[in-house]
């Protein structure tokens, strides 16, 4: 009855047994009377193996040839999955990115989808075929193969679901859905039945690593209902959709991001335009800044503290030194031994007590808060790395232990 797009990642099709497992999920969906489009990534380590081959020959290979190389990975998995579905007696056809109409801009390795010509996919669906599409790849105006970058298969699936006006886009992963916090670390973590796009975006950014951000943004933009669920265990997952149809929960989840560093720039001149000068320089160097805090320093100066990805801490320092050539090492304090703990939930918009409840939980656990940042649906605090797991437990217990 429905048109469903199902996406399976590399680990879900890592070997023959897993491919057959995926085929049986797809076949069941098809045999229940649905039209099914399947988007698949390259098998397990294929992409890494191909990268190794490339780097062995020439680490400075062009991006065009890298895309030519890597896109062979999905080609292999779509053919194998189609063969598995043939074995189960299903009419099926596999299509490469270009055959499925994925037109991208010209950027190799980080291409953006411009348009999907759904003609071929639609006509195969009309012929009652299951259509298996290579994720992660498309074609540019030169008729050259492009790839969409990390997590690109999620984006392929959501974009195709949007273009086909599919009823649902199911993203199969190795977890059962989106949890209130990392279930491997916190035993009483709970699986969420539903979550809004915005909450999911905050969770994805904060390191929940279930769904690629671009794909969630796209799902939001085109109103594609997502479901995150397990390819190994057949239980309902987590639905990601518009807030309007969801009951607003106070808190959806608690996340930890340890890959963060705090950079303090001390004794900047207290004149207008200083912050602009500093952060525009960082932006020009493509360094993403997360939390920003400005305070008044001594003797008519000010201090600016911000957080960046751990890998970017030294780059950020160099960039600031370029902007302010008079500064020296004395003006910097960099701390990589920290973690960012966040709570996310659309409900807190209308619930002013959430922040204080979080801070109280941390205080009772004896954890010092270094920095605070809030958005309409998120509260993040910076703590010592050694306190991170304790902080997650404390905050999670605060919001989820009672039910």
Residues found near a copy of itself in the complex (CB under 8 A): 16, 19-20, 50, 53-54, 56-58, 60-62, 64-66, 68-69, 71-73, 75-76, 78-80, 82-84, 86-87, 93-94, 96, 99, 120, 143-145
Residue 217's alpha-carbon distances to 45, 200, 222, in angstroms, are 27, 9, 9
Cα 250 to the center of its chain, rounded Å: 22
Q: What is the nearest approach in angstroms of a copy of itself to the Cβ of residue 67?
A: 8
Q: Which is nearer to a copy of itself, 160 or 263 (CB)?
A: 160
Burial label, 289 (beta-carbon count in 10 A; 0-12, 13-18, 19+) = middle
For residue 77, the 8-state DSSP code is H
Q: Which is nearer to a copy of itself, 82 or 206 (CB)?
A: 82
Q: How far apart are the first and last CA of the chain?
A: 37
Size of the chain, expressed as the number of residues it contains: 403
Q: Which is nearer to a copy of itself, 102 or 279 (CB)?
A: 102
Q: Which is nearer to a copy of itself, 93 or 200 (CB)?
A: 93
H/E run at residue 361: helix 354-364
Q: Which is nearer to a copy of itself, 72 or 355 (CB)?
A: 72
Residue 369's alpha-carbon distances to 172, 252, 342, 366, in angstroms, are 37, 22, 12, 10
Using CA atoms, how far apart are residues 398 and 48, in angstroms rounded to an integer?
41
Q: Which is nearer to a copy of itself, 39 or 287 (CB)?
A: 39
Using CA atoms, how far apart are residues 304 and 172, in angstroms rounded to an integer?
42
Using CA atoms, how far apart are residues 170 and 165, in angstroms rounded to an integer?
14
Q: Which is nearer to a copy of itself, 16 or 333 (CB)?
A: 16
Q: Which is nearer to a copy of itself, 86 or 364 (CB)?
A: 86
Q: Which is nearer to a copy of itself, 19 or 319 (CB)?
A: 19
Of residues 240, 203, 238, the one with CA closest to residue 222: 240
Q: What is the nearest approach in angstroms of a copy of itself to the Cβ of residue 69?
A: 4
Q: What is the nearest approach in angstroms of a copy of itself to the Cβ of residue 132?
A: 9
Q: What is the nearest approach in angstroms of a copy of itself to the Cβ of residue 129?
A: 12
Residue with tokens 């671009």: 214
Q: What is the nearest approach in angstroms of a copy of itself to the Cβ of residue 76?
A: 5
Q: What is the nearest approach in angstroms of a copy of itself to the Cβ of residue 83?
A: 4
Q: What is the nearest approach in angstroms of a copy of itself to the Cβ of residue 17?
A: 9
Q: What is the nearest approach in angstroms of a copy of itself to the Cβ of residue 166?
A: 23
Residue 169's alpha-carbon distances to 159, 219, 221, 270, 316, in angstroms, are 10, 9, 14, 51, 39
Q: What angle do CA 170, 378, 179 make, to 5 degrees?
A: 40
Q: What is the nearest approach in angstroms of a copy of itself to the Cβ of residue 70?
A: 8
Q: Which is nearer to a copy of itself, 88 or 267 (CB)?
A: 88
Using CA atoms, how far apart are residues 255 and 237, in angstroms rounded to an integer?
19
- Can you give 105-169 as a three-state secondary structure string? CCCCCCCCEEEECCHHHHHHHHCCCEEEEECCEEECCCCCEEECCCCHHHHHHHHHHHHHCCCEE
Q: What is the nearest approach in angstroms of a copy of itself to the Cβ of residue 236?
A: 28
3-class DSSP state of 216:
helix
Q: Which is nearer to a copy of itself, 74 or 398 (CB)?
A: 74
For residue 245, the 8-state DSSP code is G
Residue 184's alpha-carbon distances to 51, 113, 345, 398, in angstroms, are 30, 35, 21, 19
Q: What is the nearest approach in angstroms of a copy of itself to the Cβ of residue 92?
A: 8
């Amino acid at each position: 009855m429905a048109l469903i797009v199902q996406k399976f990642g590399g680990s879900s099709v890592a070997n023959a047994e897993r491919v057959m497992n995926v085929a049986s999920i797809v076949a069941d969906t098809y045999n229940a009377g649905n039209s099914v489009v399947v988007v698949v990534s390259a098998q397990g380590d294929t992409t890494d193996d191909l990268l190794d081959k490339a780097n062995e020959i020439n680490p400075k290979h062009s991006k065009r040839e890298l895309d030519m190389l890597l896109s062979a990975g999905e080609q292999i998995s779509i053919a194998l999955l189609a063969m598995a579905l043939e074995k189960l007696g299903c009419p099926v056809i596999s299509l490469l990115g270009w055959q499925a109409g994925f037109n991208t801009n010209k950027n190799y390795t980080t291409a953006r989808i411009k348009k999907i010509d759904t003609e071929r996919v639609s006509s195969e669906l009309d012929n009652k075929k299951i259509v298996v599409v290579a994720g992660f790849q498309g074609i540019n105006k030169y008729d050259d193969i492009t790839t969409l970058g990390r997590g690109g298969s999620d984006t392929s699936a959501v974009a195709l679901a949007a273009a086909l006006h599919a009823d649902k886009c199911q993203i199969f992963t190795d977890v059962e859905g989106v949890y209130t916090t990392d279930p491997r670390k916190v035993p009483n973590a709970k699986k969420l039945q539903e979550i809004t796009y915005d909450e999911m975006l905050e969770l994805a950014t904060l390191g929940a690593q279930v769904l690629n951000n671009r794909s969630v943004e796209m799902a939001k933009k085109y109103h594609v209902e997502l479901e995150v669920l397990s390819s190994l265990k057949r239980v309902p997952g987590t639905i990601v959709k518009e807030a309007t149809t969801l009951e607003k929960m106070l808190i959806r989840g608690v996340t930890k991001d340890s890959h963060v560093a705090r950079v303090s720039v001390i004794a900047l001149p207290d004149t207008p335009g200083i912050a602009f000068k500093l952060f525009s320089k960082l932006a020009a160097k493509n360094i993403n800044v997360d939390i920003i805090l400005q305070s008044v320093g001594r003797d008519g100066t000010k201090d600016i503290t911000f957080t960046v990805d751990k890998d970017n801490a030294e780059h950020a320092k160099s960039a600031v030194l370029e902007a302010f050539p008079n500064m020296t090492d004395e003006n910097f304090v960099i701390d990589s031994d920290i973690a960012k703990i966040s709570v996310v939930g659309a409900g807190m918009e209308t619930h002013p007590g959430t922040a204080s409840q979080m801070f109280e939980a941390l205080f009772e656990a004896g954890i010092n808060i270094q920095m605070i940042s809030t958005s309409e649906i998120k509260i993040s605090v910076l703590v010592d790395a050694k306190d991170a797991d304790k902080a997650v437990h404390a905050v999670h217990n605060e919001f989820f232990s009672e039910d």
